[in-house]
Every structure is written in C-alpha cells, then in structure tokens.
Structure 1
C-alpha cells in the first residue's frame, strides 16, 4: 500500500507535460490492448486419454508437454515471421513454453498448445515491451515436428497384442 501511495503522490506532483508522458507510457498500454485470442487447442500429442496421465481432464496434458520441452533436441525457435510462414505452409506449430504478455498478464500460450494465426495477430497488435516466454530475437520455442511424431508414435498401441499365434 505504501508503494502505491508513494507512486500516487509522485504522479500528483507531475507537471501537465510530465503527466501526459506518464499517462502515455504507463496507462495507455494497459487500456488499449487488443482482445485476448481464444485458446486454440492442445496438439493431439498432448491429448492423452489415460485419466492418470491426463489428471482426469479431457482437454490436454500440459505436464507432458512441459517436461518434453526440457530437452533442447525436442525444440527449435521461430521468430514471428517464420511462425506465420510455417503456419501458412500447413505446419501445426506447438508451443513449448508458457507465453505471457504484460500487460495484461494473461497467458496466451501454454506448453502443448497449438499456435494459431489469431495468437500471432494478437502478438503483432500488442504494444508492450515485456512478454514472458517470448524473445523477439529468438522467437517462439516450439516443438520440432520430429519430437511431436515421436510422442504420437509412442501413444499408438503396439502390434501383436491380443492376436492369435
């Protein structure tokens, strides 16, 4: 509370020009944000049907995606333009990180979530400097197609079970 009161006191003492600059830098980004995009979906590699693995949710297995991303060999980086091109070319990009712009401080991507064109459009429209989990110089940390294929293949039932010999 004391910190908030101190800031309010300092803002109250600003000149009109300083106040205008302050409002532009700190208030307008928080007020003029585009609407948050809808959650796209979890990639099929992270939609486990086993209730133990999936913790009883029908939607997705964020835990498996989170731990799969620990291995750098499973991931690559794509900048915003490369991501748009990959999606336009038919690739399903899957986030390997939690991505949270601030403000507003709401996650727009979680590990295992498909990156949609609406999410990319939202990021382009944002006027913020701080996006946790996304660095403009590196881009998005996404799962490689090879890693996703490996996860999907591991989920398939192995042949030969229950058949006659």
Structure 2
C-alpha cells in the first residue's frame, strides 16, 4: 500500500474537513496528501512519506514505535529472509523459553518488596518487548519454515553486552 492510499483510507473513516481543522491546515492540503505524487506535481509530500524518510535517514525505529504505542499497539520488525538453509525449531524454542524466564525473573525481583519502582517497570517493559518481538519472529518463522533469522538474532544478542 502506498502512503497516499493509507491516507485515502483514513479519510474514508473520518471527515477530511475535521482532519484539516484538527491539524490546522487547509482542506486542499489534506486532499493533496491523498493523491499520488507524480511528475506533473500533483499530490504533496505527506506526513507518512516524511516519517518514512526520517526512518530511512536515521535507521531508528523510535518514531515508529511511538506511533504504534500511540495507536495502542507495538512495532515488531519482520524477520530478515536469507538464502542460508533453515535451522531447526528447538534452538529457537529454547531461546523463547529463556526470554520468558528472563521476563519472569524481572517481575519476581521487582515484586519482591511488594512495590515496583519506575526503573524496575522499565526493566520489565524491556524484557516484555524483547519477548514479544522474538515471539512474533518465531511465529513468522514457523509459518515460513525458516528459523535462520532467529539464529542470526541470537548470535547478535549473545555478542552484544546485556542491559538490565
């Protein structure tokens, strides 16, 4: 789906006039955002294209994660595909169990004194986000029968310093 198509879909769910008023911009700009950009100059570089460019420029998913959180969700990167032969399911399963154990350890350590500090909550959130990402990647690999992306992710995480 192209960005202008996503905007068209959103405008079907709402009033373009209200969106323009909420954003403090002209109605014509809203409509230009919903048109493809072409060589003739119709359409206008819309906010989705700008966010994509910002991501491409920085490589940082923070903005995307913020948008997903704002919409009540969570950003999970699709696994990389490779030409290498697939790995077996057991190492990936063991890694998921290990990450779940890390999450449970974080929770039990934080709750030990019947109070959870902001720092402890951040540690729990980090462990939970890591588990969610890995589980999504695991399910995708199950669907596709290719566990090599998980093997590579494990190798990267084991070679980088751990954070708590």
TM-score, scaled relative to structure 2: 0.23
Report which of the two has the higher share of helix: 2
Q: Which has the higher contact order (CA 8 A, sep 6+)?
A: 1
Report which of the two has the higher share of strand: 1
TM-score, scaled relative to structure 1: 0.22
